Homo-oligomer: A and B are copies of this chain.
Amino acid sequence: MSLDEIEKADEGIVESGAESSPWLVIYRTLRDEIVSHDLASGARLPSEKQLCDRFSVTRMTVRRALQALQHEGMLIARKGSGVFVRRVPPCYQITDGKRFIDNITAPGDSVLTHTLSIKRERARAEEAEALQLPRGARLIVITRLRLINDEPTFLNVKHLPSSYFQNFDDIYAQRQSVDDVYRHHGIHDYVRKETRITGGFAAEGQAQILGLAAGAPLLLSQSLNEDSAGRRIEHSKGCWPLTAVEFVFPGQRESIDGTIEGFAQ
């Protein structure tokens, strides 16, 4: 991991030895087998009992190791069924921009969007403030799941003021694209007004959708779009498996030939 250097830099303060208790051995062994693709993504692990035999320990010791790997999002256990490899940790780079997720760096990656629900709701305090609407204003609420290379990677809820998008459902049903909805309603240009990033933990529903263990750590993103007239047109919240992505925010003064990157177009 990229920050292991911090530890190296400070070995004078704390040394992290090559200590090894039985569960740590199991943890490291399985982790290496996952990273090296000896255990393929999606594959089922040997059952806990088989692992007990292999490592000559009891189930609780095996489970200690499996639990750590689940927390890190590498494994997901399905009750009654088995434990499965979830993710070989490549980390996608996301550049903040208008289409948040559409600028995955590697061009060969597949991105699939699943619309889970479209609802109407009334603005609560939070959305009202973010969108600069009165509390109780009508909102369109879209919940979507994005799969990158077939791994569920981004769970997203968008809030849009109903009043700006009278024909939302028709257009969205046709194209599955919020940008097309914008265009159809006369919004041909808009700006990312603000982006926020923090961390949190997966509630049961989120975990299930993302294929993670309940309580798994997440990256949480929030963004706000504004049209050229200064109207707040979208408030979006989303969550990602903790190590699935790296957000890249380019600085403001990237002046090549006089224009400002992220500002032009």
Cβ distance A96 to chain B, nearest Cβ, rounded Å: 7
Asked if A157 contacts B3 (CB within 8 A), the reply is yes
Q: With A and B bound together, what is the CA distance between A203 and B252 in angstroms?
A: 33
Task: Give A135 Cβ to nearest chain B Cβ, in Å.
Answer: 15
| Size range of the chain A interface in the assembly | 35 or more
- The answer to whether A237 has its CB under 8 Å from any CB of chain B is yes
Query: With an 8 A cutoff between CB atoms, is A243 at the interface?
Result: yes
Q: Is A103 an interface residue when CB atoms closer than 8 A count as contact?
A: no
A51 within 8 Å of B (CB atoms): no
Residues in B with CB closer than 8 Å to A16 are: 203-205
Contacts of A193 in B (CB 8 A): 250-251, 253-254
Enumerate chain B residues within 8 angstroms of A1, measured Cβ to Cβ: 116-117, 200-201, 203, 205, 209
User: Besides A3-B116, A5-B205, A6-B237, 19 other CB < 8 A contacts?
Assistant: A1-B200, A2-B205, A3-B205, A5-B204, A5-B206, A6-B239, A9-B119, A9-B203, A9-B237, A10-B116, A10-B220, A13-B204, A16-B203, A16-B205, A96-B249, A193-B253, A193-B254, A194-B251, A197-B249
